[in-house]
Amino acid sequence: MTALSEFNVRSGGETDWINITGDVQKKVAASGIREGICVVFIPHTTAAVTINENADPDVSRDVNFALNMISPDRREFRHGEGNSAAHTKTSLVGPSITLIVTGGRLLLGTWQGIWFNEYDGPRTRKVHVRVSGD
Ligand code: ZN
């Protein structure tokens, strides 16, 4: 069996992490698949997805601080839209994650959550979810 679905997220500021664990879990439950794989894919070039701590909001703040150190805005950038720092962070974090589905649920560690990462908001963004298995 396989199921493809999507949902939207509305990001706040220029840099914003949104916990989408519950949204993805709902798509897994709706698929009826008990054992398999779930792929989460972000179809954007200045937004990404990652798995990280779901408890302390300082973690996302600190990761964004580190990403801003790695990819600050630079006047040497040529891209006319002026958001090359956001494009760079998106490539560093990545457009997709693969998760294990077992017992009809996502297999995540106690402290893990799925985070939509906005680097060029505020915007309305799309998240695709493919669940495959039995
Ligand atoms: Zn751009």
Q: What is the DSSP string of 44-101?
A: -SSEEEEEEESS-HHHHHHHHHHHHHHS---TT---TTS-HHHHHHHHHH-SEEEEEE
Q: Report the pLDDT value the prediction gives residue 122, as an integer from 0 to 100.
A: 96
Q: Report the pLDDT value the prediction gives residue 63, as an integer from 0 to 100.
A: 96
Alpha carbon of 101 to ligand 1 centroid (Å) = 35
pLDDT grade for 15, boundaries at 50, 70 and 90: confident
Least confident range from 8-22, 26-40, 102-116: namely 8-22
pLDDT in tens, 16-44: 999 999 999 999 999 999 999 999 999 99
- CA-nearest of 114, 97, 110 to 37 is 97
Q: Report the pLDDT value the prediction gives residue 19, as an integer from 0 to 100.
A: 97
Q: Report the pLDDT value the prediction gives residue 51, as an integer from 0 to 100.
A: 98
Alpha carbon of 77 to ligand 1 centroid (Å) = 11
Percentage of the chain with pLDDT > 90?
98
Alpha carbon of 46 to ligand 1 centroid (Å) = 7
Stretch 67-87: mean pLDDT: 95
Please, which residues have CB less than 5 A from ligand 1, an ion? 81, 83
Alpha carbon of 53 to ligand 1 centroid (Å) = 28
Alpha carbon of 31 to ligand 1 centroid (Å) = 35
Q: Which residues contact 78 (CB under 8 A, 6 or more apart)?
A: 84
In total, the chain counts a number of residues equal to 134
